[in-house]
Amino acid sequence: MRILVLGGDGYLGWPTALHLSRRGHDVGVVDSFARRQYDFEMGVDSLVPIRSLQRRVRTWREVSGLTIDAFVGDMTDPVFVIETLRRFEPEAVVHFAEQRSAPYSMIDRQHAVYTQVNNVVGTLNLLYAIAELDPSIHLVKLGTMGEYGTPNIDIEEGFIEITHQGRTDVLPYPKQPGSFYHLSKVHDSHNIMFACRIWGVRATDLNQGIVYGQETEETLQHPDLATRFDYDGVFGTVLNRFCVQAVIGHPLTVYGSGQQIRGMLDIRDTLACVELAVTNPATKGEYRVFNQFTESFSVGQLAEMVVDAYPGPATIDHVAPPRVEKQEHYYRAAHTKLLDLGLVPHLLEASTIRSMLAVVDRHRERVDLDAIAPTVDWRRTQSTLPTAGAPVDA
């Protein structure tokens, strides 16, 4: 198939593009390099050095003999979006091209507005381009399990049967997102479902859990093909942070009680899930939702697993939670649809954590301890807008 990967320079987009290319698909990648700019803004960097997209694509061609087409531009530019689709003529579009950090979206008003404009407008431009050029293009959109929140009932895969005053219907599952980032994903889901209904677009919404791991079969073929490893307080994920803290001898910082439960999956399973969605497409006008995770753990359990896997001494500290969220909650989410399509999960084991610890150890000199602490408080509202009557700097 011809598959266009949006956000193809990112943590998941790049290894997804490599995986699909190696599996025999004609792959193109699109990126604006905004993710790299966030690092400059935050004063942080990936623990594992990453090369430019141009060098990555060139190295992949040298290593594999396969070509990946690269398109540089912004998804909020409707002309760029429609012209890129027109040039590449994809049969499927895999959409990773969004600001993906909850803390980043909660820094202040500007970051909240940027996140929602970037994410929602980019997806709207894509929907219009698909509808105008070729509604048969299958959109595979990366959402998040964070759209659901932590309801006191079982979480279904996208839809729930409701009986109210004697009448029954199947409706979108109620959403309780926990940040302006997660809200942007909810808006995306509604817009995509609407486009499927009115334009006959076909789409798969992958509500993904927290991804861990940095190495795939393809990225291990050459150092130039490595993907990101984020551990900082804004973009770093929980297991990455714990592994870095263990290696450098810092206590593992668990936010609050540590009883918060999250769905998790191995990076290799992300690649498999995307391929399963692409090769088993939705039908015309169909909007479907797959919950894309393989296991659930509490934050405290993850910390204990890292302590157990690390060969040296490691301790756990509980710190004040920067987020506004339930410290203890019910969590049971369905995730059978991808298993039914043939997903064979890589479950989180001590060997997996040890491989992540080994990655950290190889690059331990690049760790910035000051970058790990949480700096974004959900309770704080902040804006750099001038106050009324104050002079504005030229």
Rg (CA), the chain: 21
Out of 104, 148, 173, 181, which one is annotated catalytic? 181
- In terms of C-beta density within 10 A (0-12 exposed, 13-18 middle, 19 or more buried), how is residue 375 classed? middle
Pairing of strands 261-266, 210-212: parallel
Q: What are phi and psi of 296, to 5 degrees?
A: -125, 135
DSSP for residue 158:
S
Report the distance separating Cα 84 and Cα 345, nearest Å. Answer: 34
Contact call for residues 20 and 66 (beta carbons, < 8 A): no
Contact call for residues 115 and 165 (beta carbons, < 8 A): no
Q: How far apart are the first and last CA of the chain?
A: 52
**Alpha carbon of residue 339 to chain centroid:** 20
Out of 123, 144, 253, 270, which one is annotated catalytic? 144
H helices within 89-232, ranges in order? 102-105, 109-116, 122-133, 180-199
141 is catalytic: no
Contact call for residues 301 and 308 (beta carbons, < 8 A): no
Query: Cβ contacts of residue 300 below 8 Å, gap of 6+?
Result: 254, 257, 258, 259, 316
284 is catalytic: no
Contact call for residues 158 and 172 (beta carbons, < 8 A): yes
Strand pairing partners for 211?
A: 265
3-state secondary structure of 240: helix
181 is catalytic: yes
Q: In terms of Cα–Cα distance, which of 322, 320, 324, 327 is closest to 298?
A: 327
For 201-257, list the strands marked E by DSSP: 202-208, 210-212, 252-255
State the angle between helix axes of 267-279 and 13-22 in degrees (0 to 180), rounded to the nearest 10: 60
Tallying the residues shown for the chain, one arrives at 394
Out of 76, 84, 115, 185, which one is annotated catalytic? 185
Residues annotated as part of the active site: 144, 181, 185
